[in-house]
Structures are given as C-alpha cells and as structure tokens.
Amino acid sequence: MRIFITGICGFVGSALALRLRERWTDAEIFGLDNLSRHGSEVNPPRLRAAGIRVHHGDVRQASDFETLPECDFVIDAAANPSVLAGVDGRTSSRQLVEHNLLGTVNVLEYARTCGAGVVLLSTSRVYSIAALAGLPLCVEDEALTLEPAGPLPPGCSQRGIAEEFSTAAPVSLYGATKLASETLALEYAEAFDLPIVVNRCSVLAGPEQFGVAEQGIFSFWVRAYALKRPLRYIGFGGLGHQVRDALAVDDLAELVALQMQEPHRAGGIWNVGGGPANAMSLAQLSRWCADEFGPHAIDSEPTPRPFDVPWVVLDSGRALAELGWRPRVPIRDILGEIAAHHRQHPDWLDRSRPA
C-alpha cells in the first residue's frame, strides 16, 4: 500500500505516518508539507529515520502534486487548524480559504488522478455555534454539562454531539472551510467512485503537539502552566467552565487504520472524539496541573472570544457500532504524557509559537 499524507510534518500528520509505519511495515509512506506550522521543522528527521519520505511543497499549488508518485490512499492533514484563523490578524481570510479549501481541491484532484481513497481530517468546529450555544447546560464540579432533563436538539444526547447535529452558519471561518471541504470530498466520492472518509475530530492531543492557546489547548495549557506563564479563562463568565473532549492521537491512528482496511464501508462522515469520559473543563484541567506542578494563579477575562462555544463533546457512536472502535486512552494518561514530554523538552512551547 502506498500512503500519501499532506501536512505530514504537523502533529497529526507525523503521528499518523509513524503509527501507520509501525502497523504496516511494508507500506510506502510519503508526504508533503510547507513547514508553515511553527515546530513542524522538528519532524522531517524523525520521519526520514522511519523510512518515510518528506517532500517540501504546498497544497495550494496544484503543480506541487504533479511530480508526486501515485498512491492508494491520501490522508489530508494539511491545514491552518486555528479556529481564529482569518480574524486573528496573523492569517487573512483569503489565506485561510486557500490553505484549507483550495488545498482540499488539489488533494481531491490528485486522488482522482490516482484513483485513491481519501481520509479527510475535519473538525467538530463544523457544528453550528448558535446551536451549541443554545444547549441546556448546568455546572457540575466546575464544568459545564448537559442538563440531565433538558430538551436536547436533534443530533445531541448525553453521549455527545452526533453527525446529525446542525451545521448551520455561523461555524467560524475555519469551520466553514472544513465544511465546504467535506461537501466537496463527498461529491468527489460520488462522482468518481472514490472511497472517501471524513473524520470530524474533537480536540486531538498528545505529547508532541505544537500547542497554542487557540489550537492544541490541552498541550498548550499543561506546558504554559508548568512554566508558570500567564493563563486566562476567557469568556463564559471567566470561570474556566467550558468543556472539550480530548482524543489521543494513538486512538485516531487506530480508527484511521480500520477505515483504510475497509474503505468502501467506511465512506461518509464520522464523529471521532474522546466522548464524555474524556471531557474536561479548563478549571478541571488547572486542578490537574496544580496536582502535577503546584499552584499557579489563572487570570479571568469574562468577555468571550470570537467563535467560542461553551461545550463540545463528540458522540463517536458510528465508529463503535460499525467498526467496534472506541477511544482507549483516558484523558489523564494523555495529560500525563504531555507533562512527561514537557519535562524532557521544556522549550517545546516556545518552539510552537510564532516568534
């Protein structure tokens, strides 16, 4: 099998490449990256040492695909993954669309030419901000949680947000580039009979993640806390009660491998998250950090940031029902691995940030 991974030097791309290499030792694995993510430059040597080829190139450039060898599967992990991209003053909205949507067009065209399957890494941020903000929530143990008796909208249950949940705008510019990419990918699947899998991921986390406040929150928070850097609870009263579920990148790799083994059965949209058992609020995360690293005061900024939502926990029921997949790595183990990695690489946080 020949596997091509875009964004192969990013957190998810590199992790998938290395884990799939371990699983399928005779697979040919190669990938493309423009090294635009701060920190991604650490990965080419690790990948090459594992026999994985890295091409320097840009998914926005159709001609960068012309000299690539053919493949059987594309994993699309190249993106600007920040929910604030396009409005943060660092990336323009046009640049975001070029990276995340034009890049998908070029990936799909390359897959069509090869007759290859595609795994598109999408996000829980395709879900409607208004619908998420309207969920009936209460506070339990410093964390927002669904009201036990609250009336829930279609696609939401105590197991979390399922694929049927509303994707009505606004979803953030980032979410919109992903939603548009998903639609296009599903059309290519239909029009050209390609096996195309769309994984809507919750917060992915792991020790080698390049965390910044707006992307890679678990990695960012643990490292910044350990270094006693200033941290703030932003929005929702400034109490840190907002909740996300974390999924270990090892668990994602396991699912992607299962999907690639049965690509025609695995087509369409999948929610992929850590679920209620791996959900945690920022305040709870700070408590975990205090046990690990000692006390550190957290500031409060009650004014919300653009596109922020109080509670996102994904229901991965389809993956359990159809592939027997469930997340195995508990959130406390994920955090422990990040903390251990931080102790070995205390400069990692600064590598991950724009200078």
Ligand X SMILES: NC(=O)c1ccc[n+]([C@@H]2O[C@H](COP(=O)([O-])OP(=O)(O)OC[C@H]3O[C@@H](n4cnc5c(N)ncnc54)[C@H](O)[C@@H]3O)[C@@H](O)[C@H]2O)c1
Is there binding between residue 256 and ligand X (CB under 6 A)? no
- The alpha carbon of residue 278 and the mean position of all alpha carbons in its chain are separated, in whole angstroms, by 15
Query: Which x/- pattern, by CB under 6 A, does the window 285-304 give for ligand X?
Result: --------------------
Judged by CB under 6 A, does residue 283 bind ligand X?
no
Distance CA 313, CA 328 (A): 16
Q: Which stretch binds ligand X (CB under 6 A): 4-12, 110-118, 151-159, 328-336?
A: 4-12
Instruction: Name the 3-class secondary structure at 281.
Output: strand
Is 315 a binding residue for ligand X by CB under 6 A? The answer is no
291 phi/psi in degrees, rounded to 5: -65, -35
Does the footprint of ligand X cover residue 47 (CB under 6 A)?
no
Quote the Cα angle for 319-187-269, to 5°.
Answer: 15
Which of 17, 79, 83, 101: binder of ligand X (CB under 6 A)? 79
d(CA 274, CA 316): 8
Contact status: 123 vs ligand X (CB under 6 A):
yes
Task: Tell me which residues in 58-77 interact with ligand X (CB under 6 A).
Answer: 58-60, 77
SS3 175: helix
Q: Which of 118, 281, 272, 120 is nearest to 204 (CA)?
A: 272
CA distance 226 to 292: 8
Nearer to ligand X, 143 or 201 (CB): 201
201 binds ligand X (CB under 6 A): yes
Q: How far is the CB of 37 from ligand X (least distance, A)?
A: 4
- Alpha-carbon distance 254 to 276, whole Å? 19
85 binds ligand X (CB under 6 A): no
Nearer to ligand X, 58 or 337 (CB): 58
Tell me which DSSP letter residue 127 carries: S
Helices 282-293 and 217-226 meet at what angle, rounded to 10? 40
Q: How far apart are CA 202 and CA 341, in angstroms?
A: 22
* Contact window for ligand X (CB under 6 A) among 7-15, 227-235, 287-295, 337-345: 7-15
Type of residue at 284: Q
Judged by CB, which is closer to ligand X: 146, or 203? 203
Return the residue of 5, 17, 54, 78 that touches ligand X, per CB under 6 A: 78
What string marks each residue from 17 to 46 as x (binds ligand X by CB under 6 A) or -?
Answer: ---------------xxxxxx--x------
Query: Under the rule (CB under 6 A), what is the footprint of ligand X?
Result: 7, 9-13, 32-37, 40, 58-60, 77-81, 99, 103, 121, 123, 201, 203-204, 210, 216
